[in-house]
Amino acid sequence: MTAAQDFATYIAGLPRILSGSAALFRDAEGRVLLVEPNYREGWALPGGTIESDDGETPRQGARRETLEEIGLDRELGPLLAVDWVYRAGWPPLVAYLYDGGVLGAEDFEAIRLQEEELLSWKLVPREELAGYLLGSLGHRVLAALDVLDEGTGTAELENGRRVS
C-alpha cells in the first residue's frame, strides 16, 4: 500500500461532523427574521448546510443560503455564535451564526422565498422566539442577541448552552 492509499484510508476512517451556517437578520425594532421550512417542524433562520466538499467556508455558506432562501445577497457581519450540537443517532453538528444586520423596508420588500424549501417568513420579537425555534436553535439565537446587546465577541455553545 502506498503512502497516498494509507492517507486515504486514514481520512475515510475519521468521524464525520455536519456543519451549517445561518444569518441573523433584524428589523429596526429588534425583531428577528424567521423562515418557515416545509420539510420539518418549527421555524429557522436563513441558512443551511455548508458545502465543505467544494471548500465553502461557514461565512460563504451563510451568504449563499441567504441568497438561495430569501433572495438577499448581503455581506455578513461578525460571527455571533458557534454551537456544538450532539443528538444520539446523529453525527455531531457545528452550527455557525453570523450577524446579518438590520434590514430596512426595501430589504423586506425584496425578499423572495425559495418555494422548494420555505412556506413563509415573519419578524418575531425576542420574547416570542422560544415559541418558534426548536431545540438548541432557540438558545443559539438568544445567545447571539445577547452578544449583540453586550457588544462582546462570539458566544461558544454546546447544545445551545453558553460555555463562554
Q: What is the pLDDT of residues 101-149, one digit of tens each?
A: 999 999 999 999 999 999 999 999 999 999 999 999 999 999 999 999 9
In DSSP notation, 28-75 reads: TT-PEEEEEESSSSS-B-SEEE--GGGT--HHHHHHHHHHHHHS----
Please report the pLDDT score of residue 62 as a whole number: 98
| Position 131 in a domain | yes
On the CB side of 120, how many CA atoms lie within 13 Å of its CA?
5
| Position 4 in a domain | no
pLDDT tens digits for 38-54? 999 999 999 999 998 88
| Position 123 in a domain | yes
Please report the pLDDT score of residue 15 as a whole number: 72
| Position 71 in a domain | yes
CA distances to 66, 86, 121, 153 from 30, in Å: 19, 30, 16, 19
User: Please, which pLDDT band fits residue 94 given cuts at 50, 70 and 90?
Assistant: very high
| Position 117 in a domain | yes
Domain count, the chain: 1
| Position 35 in a domain | yes
* Average pLDDT score, the chain: 94
Say what the pTM is.
0.91
Q: Domain of 154?
A: 17-47+58-162
Q: Give the CATH number of the domain where residue 33 resides.
A: 3.90.79.10
